Structure 1
């Protein structure tokens, strides 16, 4: 998937002037003006992780934070650009998922460091294979991110290094527990066939050893917002009418006539539908969100 979150209108006039006056990141980690480290994350998934590590010592702005929002349709504002221009640290998913972060950073000439989570993950090996950029469902990647965030926050506020490390250690323990749970599920469910409308939970499925059999032409078309080839749609529908798969993972934040057809086919065939999202549901942090995803997949596989 490339450039899915890039609807970025030009901001002119007063917004441009505001950016000119706020382009330099504070070296002391006080760009927020209240003594905290200002961090801007592309989504609240990463914002939650930073908040867990930084606590009261960080001010986090998550650009995409509405669970009802289609994350594929993002529009910037002067307020968003101003937050980026004043940030001490930026976090982007990368891999073409949130290119608007690069656009915002370039427009503001910020000097803040940027963590690109796809690059940090090491999962993209290049080549011709389609890369799944939803690395926020990869728990080993999130462990790497926690360590990197802790290191960078400590560099911005050395006096709180011990606090950041303690919080990072506690969060890492929780993430490793999620890894352990998926490893246990793999012992029972490895090889079970499943399907998804988009590869959002792909890394979670991989961790459990599940076999995604969705026609690539279907999920790729949905992901790119293109028309689904009729043959790919028919082959996908057969997964449910023939009860080939144990569950359907359905992206609750995007829909199309084709995904609705597939969801109906799953419902009609009594194949469990597991809703997945690309941003945190209201009231959840990263760990509780992913725990709920694991529990939902397990419950579906047990049916």
Structure 2
């Protein structure tokens, strides 16, 4: 079909815009569903194991980073994720890689071991940054992104790494990390208020994902240890353990149930139903960043939901 002379400039302009956008770098989909933004070709390439860390990188790096978050779909389980050829290519081009560590995202280590740029890639391990260790006789809770001070330290550590990769913008990265830290301060204050208002209040969790946040809030986890372990491992909860968990709710011995909706199954659904039937508030949490939120807004929503569940 012949294009009229009046439409041709418009179509040509649209084509040029699309072409330019296609050639530029982008902040990937691991930013809570936020619109992709064009980044310069000189941007520092970063790979993050999940969109939680990808979002923190984006907040620190701004348009000077190109972020590839490997896991952003709530249906993907980092414990069992198998990396793709695309993931491997991204890692092979990355200047900085952010992993959770602690056995949570072992696929990152596997890719790094076969990457041809391993010696020039700076790897940041969030568990190492956190300083968290396993309790004596127990297992490490690797879900360190639910620890707000760890997120603050991680942002600072990311700024350092980006500054080494792009020294000309070091001040920009460190200023953004400081702004990120400042945004966390009101949340830390709110967590402290919960601790003051509800000291040692009992809660139950479907698995250990939110425990750093509940512990910082001064709350006591009364969940039978075998319950959370079985759910996290994807195994059957023993009948006597399930009975103990249901008794907590039916006897109203906990003030809230914190429920990981990304790993729901018949047993956790049964527990959630029991909480609702007995008037126990349910606080839903996730392991990856919900669409449309950044790390701070997500954690703010979690803290507010926890306070609401506990009451005045």
**Shorter-chain TM-score range:** 0.7 to 0.9
Deviates more, 1:56-65 or 1:167-176: 167-176
Cα shift readout 1:204-237 (whole Å, capped 9, x = no counterpart): 0011100010000010111111111111110001
DSSP 3-state at the match of 1:253: helix
Secondary structure of the equivalent of 1:200? coil
Give the alignment partner of residue 211 of structure 1, picking from 220, 226, 229: 220
1:236 aligns with 245
Distance 2:229 2:164 in 1: 40
| Aligned residue number for residue 21 of structure 1 | none
RMSD: 1.5
Q: Does 1:60 align with 2:54?
A: no
Residue number among 79, 83, 89 corresponding to 2:86 in the alignment: 79
* More RCO (CA 8 Å, sep 6+): 1
Counterparts of 1:1-303 in structure 2 under 5 Å?
Answer: 34-111=41-118, 112-125=121-134, 127-302=136-311
Moved over 3 A (4+): 67-73
Structure 1 counterpart SS, 2:58: helix
Q: Structure 2: 5+ residue runs without aligned partners?
A: 1-38
Cα separation, 2, equivalents of 1:293 and 1:247: 13
Contact 2:79 2:103 in 1 (8 A): no
* 1:221 and 1:228 in contact (8 A); partners too: yes
Alignment partner, residue 9 of structure 1: none
Deviation of 1:256 (Å) = 1.9
Residue 33 of structure 1 and its aligned partner are, at CA, apart by 8.4
What is the distance in 2 between the residues matched to 1:75 and 1:234?
Answer: 35
Q: How many angstroms apart in 2 are the aligned matches of 1:181 and 1:68?
A: 31
Q: Please list every run of 5 or more consecutive structure 1 residues that lacks an aligned counterpart in the other structure.
A: 1-31
How far the C-alpha of 1:107 sits from its partner, in A, is 2.1
Larger radius of gyration: 2
Quote the offset at 1:176 in angstroms. 2.4
Contact 2:134 2:141 in 1 (8 A): no
Take 2:117 and 2:91, find their aligned partners in 1: how far apart are those partners? 7
Q: 1:282 to 1:67 in 2, by over 3 A?
A: farther
- The CA distance in 2 between the partners of 1:105 and 1:295, in whole Å, is 38
Partner deviation per Cα, 1:145-167 (whole Å, 9 max, x = no partner): 11111111011111111111111
Instruction: Give the distance between the partners of 2:123 and 2:253, measured in 1 at CA.
Output: 43
> Shift in Å at residue 72 of structure 1?
4.3
* Distance of aligned partners of 1:72 and 1:256 in 2 relative to their CA distance in 1, 3 Å threshold: farther
Q: Distance in 2 between matches of 1:249 and 1:126?
A: 22
| TM-score normalised by structure 2 residue count | 0.84
Measured in 1, the distance between the counterparts of 2:301 and 2:164 equals: 34
After TM superposition, give the deviation of residue 74 of structure 1 in Å.
Answer: 2.1
Q: How many residues align?
A: 272
How much does 1:109 deviate?
Answer: 3.4
